[in-house]
């Protein structure tokens, strides 16, 4: 994705795969491969924030670059400008 100018920061993954990734251990002391950095959050891996999605097929990972998605505003919005400020 980076080769075409995207910068993915999100990874959508199946909940079962996410649990297996979070619980992966290594070495004689069975230390977790990816230690938690913030309580209640998944560990960042390669700068990605992992999000569990039940509709993501097992074994698949969807990389998402939210920047080109834009910002979605729903509902009434108001823009106020004070011409005396300038």
Considering the domain boundaries, does residue 33 fall inside one?
yes
- For the stretch 3-20, pLDDT in tens is 888 888 888 989 888 878
Considering the domain boundaries, does residue 76 fall inside one?
no
User: How many domains does the structure of the chain reveal?
Assistant: 1
Query: What is the predicted pLDDT for the residue at 58?
Result: 92
Distance from C-alpha of 61 to C-alpha of 12, rounded to nearest angstrom? 6
Residue pair 11/50 in contact (Cβ under 8 Å)? The answer is: yes
| Short-list 55, 49, 64, 43, CA closest to 15 | 55
Query: What is the predicted pLDDT for the residue at 43?
Result: 55
Distance from C-alpha of 29 to C-alpha of 33, rounded to nearest angstrom? 11
- For the stretch 40-78, pLDDT in tens is 555 556 678 888 888 899 999 888 888 877 767 677 767
Which position has the higher pLDDT, 79 or 75? 75
Q: What is the pTM of this model?
A: 0.59
Considering the domain boundaries, does residue 80 fall inside one?
no
Could you tell me whether strands 49-52 and 10-13 are parallel, antiparallel, or unpaired per DSSP bridges?
Answer: parallel
Contacts by 31-36 with C-beta closer than 8 Å and gap 24+? none
Domain range enclosing 43: 2-68
Considering the domain boundaries, does residue 35 fall inside one?
yes
Distance from C-alpha of 65 to C-alpha of 49, rounded to nearest angstrom? 11
Query: What is the predicted pLDDT for the residue at 85?
Result: 60
């Amino acid at each position: 994705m980076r080769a075409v100018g995207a910068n993915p920061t999100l990874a959508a993954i199946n909940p079962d795969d996410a649990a297996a990734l979070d619980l992966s251990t290594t070495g004689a002391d069975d230390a977790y491969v990816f230690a938690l950095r913030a309580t209640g959050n998944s560990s960042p891996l390669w700068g990605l924030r992992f999000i569990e999605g039940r509709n993501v097929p097992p074994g698949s990972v969807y990389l998402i670059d939210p920047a080109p998605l834009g910002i979605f505003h729903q509902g009434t919005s108001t823009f106020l400008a004070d011409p005396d400020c300038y």
